[in-house]
Structure 1
Amino acid sequence: MSLAHFRAGRRAALRAAAAPAALAIAFAVPVTHARAEEPTSTPILIEGDRALPGPLERMTPADTTGPAPRDAGEFLSRLQGVTSGRFGGHGNEISLRGLTQDNIAVISDGAYVFGGCPNRMDPPSSLSALLPDDVVTVARGYQSVTDGPPAPGGTVSIDRADPYDIAEGPGGGIEGGIESNGATRFVSAQARYGLGGAYARGFANAKRAENYEDGDGREVRSAFDQYGGGLEAGWRYGNRSVLSLSSDVDIVEDALFAGAGMDSPWTAARTVKASLDHNFDQGSLLAKLEISAYGSFVEHLMDNYSLRTPGMMTMRTDANSDTYGGRVAAGFDAMGGMLTVGVDHRTNNRNAESRMNMMGGAPTMISNYTWPDMFIRDTGFFGEYGAPMDEVTALKLGIRADLVSVEAKRADWLPGGMGALTARQLYAAYYGVTDTDRQETNVSGFARLTRDFGKASGWIGAARAVRTADATERGIVRYSAMAPANNWVGNPAIKPEKHYQLDTGLTAGEGPWGLTGGIWYDRVEDFISRDLARGQSGVLRSDGASIYRNVDAELAGVDLSGSYRFSESWKANATASYTYGANLTDDRPLYQIAPLSGSVEVVYEQPVWQVGTRLGWAANQTRADTDPLTGAGLDAQETPGHAVLDLFASWQPVTGLELKGGVSNLLDQTYASYLSRSNGFDPTVVQVNEPGRSFYIQAALTF
């Protein structure tokens, strides 16, 4: 089988598993069948391409078109309904169903990694190395209680390839490429070895990018260097059971950010993980046992002088974010379905110190304990049950209770400088709150029903997802007595968000065509809103500082996708997504809501080569929160619509070798994502613009 045919088959299998027609397989199958990996119902088969993501989507980076992404956030933004905001060349912040940051869980091979930058130069999606055969799963909305503390926007899981796919003896691959705009170069290599039940694999990668130019030829500060690698060893035994131990590191150096007052000379993320996935013999009540533990450790440095010309005042922030976690879960063959019960735990500790020097030398005086040694501990108890109700209908139910505890160990540490205040004093000044310790008990749950109608299938779901506030929302401190409008103070008394979600949709297909449509609604009690201090209820000051408060909000959206195969060689795919968001308490648009957007792709393919074109588009967005006098002012501007044309091609000259190339932004359009930050380095440009025209070529060799 050729590489092209293999990838086409794998792509179809992954997407079919994610399509709503096959949700019964993923959501509710008897344990005996799940262990054998056989479906209990037959999904709709569409002879055209199955580019129908629905609420659950799986893909591998090797099966996508376009230039190599600068980070995982940029890769995810190419998927339907996922948008991103640009800060520089690295550190793209993703948004899903109108929610972002900690409303989205990013799980890298079973481990949570939280960024170490209070200003989010390093969101979790930027700290995960993507390998060609990684399986990326995007679950839109709250669909499972087993993935850890609730993430109402959705869950992104990046998992290494199945250890059982590692054949006997040596194997591996290498890929590399170059992109013209920004002179981006990358190379990555994998090696693996299987010997009986034992296996080992490792990878290494490196990427370097210079500043790119936007469509008008203006240079955008976006350069960075990134490199890392990882090792995994394990034992495969019994009924597809695996015991494994892994470790990896990802380092980003000299990252420039056009949308910030600082750059980042150094960010390092290190992760270790041990796991056991044991499948018992068929017929036993206890079907599956999962035990895992991990630790992720992020160090981050940012300053305003080592990578740019400093002003009179030099500033530097040293931060770290350490996360420890694990889980124990058991699967039972119960009443014709799978009952999963378990417990998981996650502790995140974030600590940041900011220094400054008013005279321009090396910053030595501590100006703020920006994260005052924040600890957020979450222990969750969960149960999830899925089973077919009949041959065409499946039901999945889940409930979860999270016990949360919070403390700020440096809340009473006094920084230097004129008029300095401790974190506790600032919490009292802005909110009248002095107690930084908090305890919460949060209950979440969901129900999902799927049904196969023959030539169509549908789903309907309801969920309650409760998200606790993160370290920034609870306790960040950036304070200057001389410039109160630049202050940024977290709220220790902030309440957790309560999301009440409904979603439903339908997939239909026959012969060469397929279509998926879905709608969703999310009513949020106590939405955690970043705002400006104007003496609102619960806010004691009116100095324009950045603060956090609870409001009521609502979000809603529509997702459409379709595919059509005109002939054996020609196919087309199209998508469109729209999200509406409103702050109900203040009667204004919710900030950072992407506009109506989508894509149209046409491909001509032969057994060993293909060529295609893709038009990505976004409508104008006029529902913006841009006025700092009446709103939060977190949107840079109302953005005009845009359309960007890409060309791409691939060729497999011999088995195991694939060449890719193309042109992104062929017409050299100048545009910015609505979610992108304000360009703080170039006052002639409102936002950080996307790259202009860029040519690229890549090669991948597998053996």
Structure 2
Amino acid sequence: MSMSLSAATRSPPAAPAARPAVPVAALAAALALALPPRAAAHEDAPETRLLDTVVVTAAAPSASLVFETDPRLPRQPVPASDGADYLKTIPGFTAVRNGGSNGDPVLRGMFGSRLNLLSNDGAMPGACPARMDNPMSYVAPETYDRLVVIKGPQTVQWGPGASAGTVRFVREPETFDAPGLRVRGSLLAGANGRNDQTLDATAGAPRGYVRVGTNRSQADDYRDGAGDLVPSLWKKWSADASFGWTPDRDTLLEATVGAGDGQARYAGRGMDGVQFRRSSYALRFEKTRIGGALDALQANAYVNDADHVMDNYSLRDPNPMGPMPMAMVSNVDRRTSGGRAAATWKVGAWEIVTGLDAQRSRHRERNAMHGENYRAMAWQKDADFSNLGAFAEATWRLAARERLVAGARVDRARVRDARPVAGMMGMPNPTAGQRRRDMLRSGFLRFERTLAGDAATGPALTWYAGLGHAERMPDYWELFSPNLGPPGAANAFAGVQPERTTQIDLGLQYRGARASAWISAYAGRIQDYILFTYREGGMMGMTSRVANVDAAIRGGEAGVAFRPAPDWKLEGTLAYAWGEQRATGAPLPQMPPLDARLSLAYDDRTWSFGALLRGVAAQHRVSVEQGNVVGRDLGRSAGFATVAVNAGYRFDERLVLTAGIDNLFDRDYSEHLNLSGSADFGYPADPVRIHEPGRTGWMKLTYAY
């Protein structure tokens, strides 16, 4: 399939009215008025300063298989509107493009609940049967302090499954030595009506604090490199408030409440999201430096509600020739509650974390035609999930430069099919009221050794080798979304088996004064890999069948950074993923192609400049019409290369202005992982990938104290 199409083959909607540009002076003035002058604080109180990397273009591992970054920093391409967007900064991550926001993250070609996606250590799985509101849709990256990614089945501490990796957006507890105020805010303006505001403020004293974080983000439909309009507008907001009690520096009790909402138009879907309402409640307890063998206790509990509304008439016109010719609305709701308790033990050369975690999730829905009051209709529950897990993870320091890390967990997973009928025809559901129960076992063993030096005092060379195994219960989208189950099974609920992944991870890291480099490689076998196959269903649209196959995967990532002079940095990364269906030798679908990035940056602590070159190879290994609940292989894809530039100026330690231009040469291109354009917006019947934004300028002002 050609990488681009002429304007004659696509008929996107007319452009919305242009919004006036927001001048930089107005941004600066608004932020200055919004933030009060710095209050006097204790001389030992920590200060927030903007002396980190000005614009993030790639992240390097902080430890074996662990990537950690500050999601509050600007990134390029244009600073992220959701969690999936920010994850693309980490080598190995991509996202399924379906509009301007709320893409679905993919790590090493693995998708869905193979990734354990957590925000503040709570699960927010979303409600849409096609993952329109995936877990990262509800994450505003700038309202979190840390983003932590653990690749592969190399931890058991953060929940079941996680065969591809674990993603944690984390808010740190606050401490104050004297009464004070900390504030961080930002304003962003850009092309296509991009307009963001973020404010994170904490007031506190030695005995406690109150933290409030708010975010608003908005953009219009964007134009691709050919100048064609892509339906992609979004508008969203979120707000969270935390109340912490700190009777001493080693004890924390914190309560958090949060809410959010938004809407988004999708070029690649039959409906748009007109409501993304979120309600969140959480409690957290931490006790550290207890003394003796028991060193720390941690516990948290949460309740997250996703109330999501989709329709085909608020942000588009119904297509009389499509599978939904009449105006329709669907309201889906998912409540997920759970908790975790963990104890950290330190005995000699051993550090052991033991704990329990639990989760319960209820899903329900209601549907109506346009004009009907769908909110007056009764909810119909269709699924109940629950999971209870126990885990232990130990680190044994064999010697000054060697350590062994191992973990094991067992989970009891349950799910009940509450659907009285199945499918749009309203036929009786053959598995109505039935329950599934599975015992799932996971574990890993990893050896790490520093060959030379000490990362804290000089150059260091470290290697690691790990073997991990993860068993994963099929998720909501794999049990309830497909039209058909495996051959011979009544439906997906009755026939889809748990997925079992066994994987080897190898890596090498070097850190020196002027240069650093790293490489990570993996190879694995997946028994009962859950695979979707799509077929045209006539007037019913596309139908999907889900089945289990055995698969083999391998690939890796690498990076290098070099400072030729104190103010200059040259950096490059490479990521590759490969997969195969073992029985047939066919490629595993939805595998991203080879992706390379090369950046050059200058930063003298006042001025900064940077350039990013991204090159992506063509992808010829495809399985057409196979994939997952969101995307499928549409055919071969062409390679492309794009250039982005950025610049920044530090007015002082707390005020920074950054700006950038993405896709500098206005290339017309599309990513391999993609959805096909909807006929509702004039896209042709033959699948056409959604193209990426053309030249996009943006400017961001950040202030912190």
**Under TM normalisation by the shorter chain, which class is it?**
0.7 to 0.9
Name the CA shift for 1:122/1:167 in 2 (closer, same or farther; >3 Å): farther
Tell me the CA shift for residue 353 of structure 1: 3.2
SS of 1:265's partner is strand
- Pick from 19, 24, 34 the counterpart of residue 62 of structure 2: 19
Q: Which residue of 1 aligns with 2:125?
A: 114
Q: Which residue of 2 aligns with 1:459?
A: 464
| 8 A contact 1:372–1:408 mirrored in 2 | no
Q: Which residue of 1 aligns with 2:329?
A: 316
Tell me the CA shift for residue 281 of structure 1: 3.0
SS of 1:62's partner is coil
Q: Please give the alpha-carbon distance, in whole angstroms, between the structure 2 residues aligned to 1:694 and 1:608.
A: 25
| 8 A contact 1:65–1:648 mirrored in 2 | no
Q: Which residue of 2 aligns with 1:641?
A: 639
Tell me the CA shift for residue 334 of structure 1: 2.8
Name the CA shift for 1:642/1:329 in 2 (closer, same or farther; >3 Å): same
Show the 5 A alignment for 1:520-539.
520-532=522-534
| 8 A contact 1:368–1:477 mirrored in 2 | no
Name the CA shift for 1:197/1:257 in 2 (closer, same or farther; >3 Å): same
Show the 5 A alignment for 1:536-555.
545-555=543-553
Q: Which residue of 1 aligns with 2:473?
A: 468
Q: Please give the alpha-carbon distance, in whole angstroms, between the structure 1 residues aligned to 2:215 and 2:672.
A: 31
| 8 A contact 2:219–2:233 mirrored in 1 | yes
Tell me the CA shift for residue 634 of structure 1: 1.7
- Unpaired segments ≥5 residues, structure 2: 1-45, 453-459, 485-489
Tell me the CA shift for residue 276 of structure 1: 0.5
| 8 A contact 2:655–2:703 mirrored in 1 | yes
The superposition leaves residues 492-512 of structure 1 with CA deviations (integer Å, 9 ceiling, x where unpaired) of 331110000101011124442
> Are 1:177 and 2:175 matched, yes or no?
no
Q: Which residue of 2 aligns with 1:47?
A: none
Name the CA shift for 1:618/1:262 in 2 (closer, same or farther; >3 Å): same
Q: Please give the alpha-carbon distance, in whole angstroms, between the structure 1 residues aligned to 2:381 and 2:532.
A: 19
Tell me the CA shift for residue 361 of structure 1: 5.9
Show the 5 A alignment for 1:371-410.
373-409=382-418
| 8 A contact 1:608–1:651 mirrored in 2 | yes
Show the 5 A alignment for 1:1-400.
6-7=51-52, 18-20=61-63, 23=64, 55-66=65-76, 67-131=78-142, 134-164=145-175, 168-180=179-191, 182-238=192-248, 240-253=250-263, 255-282=264-291, 284-310=292-318, 311=320, 312-356=325-369, 362=372, 373-400=382-409
Q: Which residue of 2 aligns with 1:39?
A: none
| 8 A contact 1:637–1:686 mirrored in 2 | no
Aligned residues: 632
Q: Please give the alpha-carbon distance, in whole angstroms, between the structure 2 residues aligned to 1:451 and 1:511.
A: 20
Q: Please give the alpha-carbon distance, in whole angstroms, between the structure 1 residues aligned to 2:407 and 2:656.
A: 43
Q: CA RMSD in A?
A: 3.0
Matched to 2:206, the amino acid is G
Q: Please give the alpha-carbon distance, in whole angstroms, between the structure 1 residues aligned to 2:176 and 2:228.
A: 46
Tell me the CA shift for residue 544 of structure 1: 8.0
Tell me the CA shift for residue 150 of structure 1: 2.1
Tell me the CA shift for residue 173 of structure 1: 2.3
Q: Please give the alpha-carbon distance, in whole angstroms, between the structure 1 residues aligned to 2:237 and 2:54.
A: 31
Q: Please give the alpha-carbon distance, in whole angstroms, between the structure 2 residues aligned to 1:226 and 1:59.
A: 24
Q: Please give the alpha-carbon distance, in whole angstroms, between the structure 2 residues aligned to 1:392 and 1:414.
A: 58
The superposition leaves residues 411-461 of structure 1 with CA deviations (integer Å, 9 ceiling, x where unpaired) of 22588x8x530333xx6xxxxxx7731110011000111110114101111
| 8 A contact 2:311–2:329 mirrored in 1 | yes
> Are 1:422 and 2:428 matched, yes or no?
yes
Name the CA shift for 1:477/1:93 in 2 (closer, same or farther; >3 Å): closer
Tell me the CA shift for residue 622 of structure 1: 0.6
The superposition leaves residues 562-581 of structure 1 with CA deviations (integer Å, 9 ceiling, x where unpaired) of 00101112111100010001
SS of 2:85's partner is helix
| 8 A contact 1:202–1:231 mirrored in 2 | yes
SS of 1:637's partner is coil
SS of 1:492's partner is helix
Show the 5 A alignment for 1:437-516.
437-454=435-452, 455-476=460-481, 490-516=492-518
| 8 A contact 2:274–2:314 mirrored in 1 | yes
TM-score by length of 2: 0.84
Name the CA shift for 1:366/1:636 in 2 (closer, same or farther; >3 Å): farther
Matched to 2:326, the amino acid is M
Matched to 2:303, the amino acid is G
Q: Which residue of 2 aligns with 1:583?
A: 581
Q: Please give the alpha-carbon distance, in whole angstroms, between the structure 2 residues aligned to 1:229 and 1:573.
A: 36
Tell me the CA shift for residue 241 of structure 1: 2.6
Q: Please give the alpha-carbon distance, in whole angstroms, between the structure 2 residues aligned to 1:378 and 1:547.
A: 26
| 8 A contact 1:355–1:368 mirrored in 2 | no
Q: Please give the alpha-carbon distance, in whole angstroms, between the structure 2 residues aligned to 1:166 and 1:216.
A: 56
Tell me the CA shift for residue 8 of structure 1: 5.1
- Unpaired segments ≥5 residues, structure 1: 24-54, 428-433, 480-487, 535-542
Tell me the CA shift for residue 63 of structure 1: 3.4
Q: Please give the alpha-carbon distance, in whole angstroms, between the structure 2 residues aligned to 1:307 and 1:166.
A: 51
Q: Which residue of 2 aligns with 1:625?
A: 623
SS of 1:74's partner is helix
